[in-house]
Chains A and B, each alone.
Chain A
C-alpha cells in the first residue's frame, strides 16, 4: 500500500446523507476480477445519464451536469466532503478502490459506516470524522469559495481551513501507523505466526470441534 502523505486539496461537497456503496460503485462493476480501473465508474448512476456497464469507454458518455462531481470547479478534487453514514451498505472494497482511483485521498463526514471506514485504511484513503456543526460549516465555506482547499495533516491529526482554523480529528493509533507507513499488514501479522500457532494448538485441545477436517 502507498503511504499516506499530507495534502492540501480541493474539496467537493456531496450533500446527501446515507450515501451507500451501491451508489459509490454500482454492482455491475463488481464483476471485475481486478482491483484497478474503477475510478471512471465512481457514482456511475449519478454521474452519467446513460446506464454504465463494465469495460465501457466513459469519455463519450452523457454527463449529468447537475451532479456535483461534474462541475468544472471541482475538477481535480482530492477531498470529499460528505454527510452522515457515508459508505453504508455492502462490504465491497470496490467503493474505496473507486474513490481512490478517481483521485480522492480524504473523505470528511460526521459519521461513516463501519466496514467502509475500515476498508478505506487498507487503501491509502483517510476517512475523517468531524462533528456535524463543523461539517455544516465546511459545506457552507466550500460552496461559497471556488478555490476552497483544506490542509490535512495525518501526523498531527488536524484539518486546517484557508482562514487558518484548525479542527482536530481522532484516528486509531494502529490505523494511523499503517496508513503513514503504507505497511503490509499481512506481513506484519505473520511476524506473530508462532503466537497464532500456539493459540490454535490450545484451542484444538479445548474445543476440537472447531477444527473439523472435511
Chain B
C-alpha cells in the first residue's frame, strides 16, 4: 500500500464518522471568527437555542472594518461600528475569547492565530474567511467556510466534508536574491491558473519552500485559495517547531515534548502518491507583478503587459481585453513604465514582521516619489506593530514618507476608510486584484513587500533587485 500524504494523515486523524453517502464528519480543533461572517451564525444559534460545543476552541477578533488611524475616536462609520459591536456582544454572550479593537493582540485573524500559538501543527482549523488557508503553513489542515458552516462548527465542533484530491507543487532550486515567497506563489498561480487547484488540497514542497521562513510559507499558503485550492499545506520541520515554541497557546513542559514528537510525523511519506504533481524551477524566477483583474494575470517585472491579439483562445482573449480596459492599460507597455498613485503594504498575505523588515530595508534613506498620493504600511497585528517599533522600522517608514497605521485588513478590501478612488492605481502586497476590490474603480497590482516599497520610491514599478 502506498504511503500517506500529509493531508491524508491530518484528515484521517479527524474523521469522527463516515456516512455511506460519501460525506465525513470532520472534527474541528480550532475556529477563528471575525465580525463580517459571524453575526448571522450567532443569530442562528440564538434562534435555535443552541450553545457553542466547546467555547475555548474559538478565538475572535475584529479586523475587516476597523479604522487604521485615530482609534481613540472609535469607529465613525455607523454600519461598521454596529458590526464590530455585534461581535463584541456575541463573544461575551457565548463565552468566546475576543481581542477587541484596542487590545494590543488585535490584528488580522490569520496573523493572530499563528502569533498566539492558537494555530498548531496537525490541527483542523476553520474560519469564515477564504484565507484561512494561511494556517496550512504549520502542517495544519485549514480552510475557509461560509456562515452556515460557521454556525455548524460552533454548534457541533465538526463539519460535514468530502475529502478533496491532493496536489503537490514542488519548487526546485533556490529563490534568487530579491525574489520572495510572494513572487513564488504568484508565479505558481500564473502557471496553473486561478482554477488550477479547484478540488485539491495543495502541498507546497521542494528546496525553495523548505528554505522559506514561516512567514514566507504563510504567504504561500495564504494564496493557495487564489490558485483555486481551499487549503494549502507545508510539512512540519524544525522551523515550524521553533516558531511555535513559547507562544501563548502552545503546549509547554512534558506536553511540549509529546507534541513535538507527534508533529515530526506531519510530513508526506516518501512513497505517498498525489493525484497531481506540478514542478517549477524557483531559481529561474524574477519579481512578479500582476497586470490584470485576476491573480493569474501576472508577469515578471522585466516583461510587458501582454497583448490579447496574441491569445488564440477566444474566452481568454475577451477576458484579457476586459481586464485591460478596466485596468486602463495598453498592451505591450513595459511593466516598469506603469506609474502609480498609491501603495499598500499590509494584509494577511504580507504584513508580518519579516515583510515589514524587507520593505523598510528598501525604504531606508529614500523618499516616496511625489506622484504617490498615499503609501500605507499597515502591520498585521498590534504585536507586529510593537515589534516593528522596537526595531525602529516605523521611523524608517515615516522618514521616507509612508503612513504608519494601526493593524487590520485596511485597503486589502477597503471595508474601512482606506481605499482607492475610481481610476487610482495601486501597488499592493495583498492577494486579490479583482475589480473594485480596493475601492470601486480602483486598479490593483499585486507584488511582494519589497517590490511595493520600491514602487513607492520610484513612483512606478521597478526591479527591486537594483535597490537592494
Contact = CB atoms under 8 A, between A and B. Distances in A.
Do A and B assemble together?
A: yes
Interface of A: 15-18, 20, 22-23, 26-28, 30-35, 45, 51, 54-55, 83-85, 88-93, 96, 111-115, 118-119, 122-123, 172-174, 177, 185-186, 189-190, 192-193, 195-196, 199-200, 203, 207-214
B333 interface: no
Contacts of A113: 195, 198, 228
Contacts of B256: 209
15 contacts: A28-B415, A30-B415, A31-B79, A91-B129, A91-B130, A93-B37, A93-B148, A114-B229, A115-B130, A118-B149, A119-B146, A119-B148, A122-B146, A173-B21, A174-B21
A214 B56 contact: yes
A93 B16 contact: no
B315 A17 contact: yes
Given A17-B319, A93-B147, A210-B123, A26 B36 contact: no
A96 B68 CA distance: 30
A115 B230 contact: yes
B50 A186 contact: yes
Given A27-B414, A33-B86, A88-B195, A186 B145 contact: no
Given A20-B434, A33-B83, A186 B146 contact: no
B294 interface: yes
Contacts of B144: 90-91, 115
Contacts of B151: 186
A189 B152 contact: yes
B332 to A, nearest CB: 23
Contact of A18 (B25, B64, B129, B319): B319
A195 B162 CA distance: 18
Interface stretch (B272-280, B356-364, B395-403, B435-443): B435-443
Contacts of A112: 198
B195 A214 contact: no
Nearest to A188: B160
Interface string B179-215: 0000000000000001100110000000000000000
B443 to A, nearest CB: 14
Given A91-B130, A196-B16, A185 B37 contact: no
B72 interface: no
Contacts of B160: 174, 185, 189
A207 B198 contact: no
Given A31-B65, A85-B198, A196-B157, A22 B432 contact: yes
A209 B120 contact: yes
Contacts of A89: 130, 432, 434
Given A22-B432, A33-B40, A33-B43, A90 B129 contact: yes
